[in-house]
Amino acid sequence: MRLTGAQIVMEALLQEGIDVIFGMPGGANLPMYDALAKYPQIHHVLVRHEQGAAHMADGFARVKGDVGVCFATSGPAATNLVTGLANAMMDSIPLVAITGQVVTNLLGNDAFQETDVTGVTQPVTKHNFLVTDVNELPQVMKEAFYIAREGRPGPVLVDICKDVQNDSTDFVYPENVNLPGYNPWFGLIGEDVKRAAAIINKARKPLIIAGHGVQMGQATEELRKLIELAEIPVTTTLLGLGNLPETHPLALGMCGMHGEAHTNLAIQECDVLIGVGMRFDDRVTGKLDDFAPNAKVIHLEMDPAEVGKNVTPDVALIGDCKDSLQNLLTLVQPARHLEWLEQIQAWRGDGRERDILGLEVEELIPPYVMRQLWHSTKGDTIVVTDVGQHQMWEAQYFIHERPRQLLTSGGLGTMGFALPAAIGAQFAARDSRVWAVAGDGGFQMTLQELAVVMQEKLPIKIAIINNGFLGMVRQWQQLFYEKRYTGTPMLSPDFVKLADAYGMSARRITRKEDVADAFVEANAHDGPFLLDFRVKEEVNVYPMVAPGAAVGDLIRRPKIVQGPSGVTPAW
């Protein structure tokens, strides 16, 4: 079958099971868009900014558990993808970005809308390709999807010159990939498994930190079996929320900079720490020299580059975490750790005495909104957050029951992620309710994608936590810069009028007693719905580990004390 390069791209997408792509046409990728017209099996979503295309593909991939695809033309369109590619790279999301490039004889001549896209994106992709020969294109497409999926997933970019898209060749899609030197799967070493099991069997105060890799490796059931067999409490990273239902008696919640106090104290007190599918990121560890000082460390990790990068383990099980957990289950002995669990419960009780929801206040505070969001969304609900205070409050006050229920930007911390990623998530889970939760700052970075929500008739619900500040930055300024709020007060548009301009239903909420009713109204609405929560401005996320401090050295809210005139909030 003789096809043009543009047709080869479409045939490759069909072969890889891709039926939705996110992108925008331009001069250098028009041949691909012309070919797309003859492939009705592939639905194209027209974005309003290419960064949105990358985030949509990212959100799609997180929910689908497979590759998301985005398109862009050359030059500024391709560079607009960079933030989204970096976001996917940091969070290990399988994504293939396909960009157009100037014709081959203009490469390196500073032609109109020419950019060295492979050079620009090399640091933020797992791999990238520049295609200058149509005969290489079928193999490149096969390899791009293979690299994006296999081993530790990540984004791959394929940059295709315009004349290559127009050239023709005999098309045969390869069945196999042969990449000498690339071996993404590592076999477990039996002696290491035995050593790890022996350490666990001797533990008196064991603790697991479960990360994003547990979800991506579909190892949640193996994790549950191990913790119940050996009675090991589990804390998670931000991206690991949902690895274990948070109602499980051994689930402790999130750890790290804004993790629960009892989880961080458990890390500092445990004698065996097992990291599963996580990379000991600085937001988890705090000051490395003081991290888990009493613990033998076991690290279950797919990428050998992450082993020992921050925390040196006593034993490393390099490979798929599902396999590693299955092997451990054959050697770990049943155990009980009653005293250890009682100690953690005591710390947890102390945390409840400091919980902001225990303050009897009439003001509308963000944690209350997050807890009401959870109360209103029982069932098959996906929450996609932006980055900032609201992101941490969601992690603390929404009760996560399953993997892939929370989508958020973890490693890169990308403001503007929520709305476009929610669009991708809705395409991956058509029958699920999707909530995009954003601050007033991050929402304004990608709010143009509201047009996509309306054009595609998506029933996405949006909650804006509107406090008139770049909230997390303001919190740091309050705590560490003597309340010099430089550059953080924010004027926002009337989000209800803005939604109306796009033809979207919306409501503004200023009173605590209206929150539950607003969520009921939004959830019952057939189409998209935006809620603008005008919350109290200067509310902080606690606990907090200050930069450079040990993970157990927490800034905490004072205990709630009833005085003669009631409770005085310690914001």
Active site residues: 50, 112-113, 162, 472
Cα 193 to Cα 184: distance, rounded to the nearest angstrom: 20
159 vs 145: CA distance, rounded Å: 14
538 and 571 in contact (C-beta within 8 Å)?
A: yes
* 392, two tokens: 């941490």
Side-chain-facing half-sphere of 102: CA atoms under 13 Å: 15
User: Residue 88 corresponds to which tokens in the numbers above?
Assistant: 């996917």
Distances (CA, A) of 97 to 6, 405, 408: 15, 25, 20
Whole-angstrom distance, CA of residue 338 vs CA of residue 344: 10
Report the number of secondary-structure helices (H) and strands (E) in the chain: 23, 24
Fill in the DSSP letter of residue 447. Answer: G
Q: Is the dihedral of CA 337, 340, 346, 352 positive or negative?
A: negative
* Residue pointed to by tokens 């960009």: 99
Distance CA 464, CA 534 (A): 8
First and final C-alpha spacing in the chain: 68
What whole-number distance in Å separates Cα of residue 431 and Cα of residue 8? 32
Question: Which strands, in side-by-side order, build the sheet including 315-318?
Answer: 251-254, 234-236, 206-210, 272-276, 296-301, 315-318
**DSSP code at position 122:** G
Cβ neighbourhood burial of 438 (10 Å; 0-12, 13-18, 19+): buried
| Cα 424 to Cα 284: distance, rounded to the nearest angstrom | 28
Please provide the DSSP assignment of 482-504 as one string: TT--TT-B-----HHHHHHHTT-
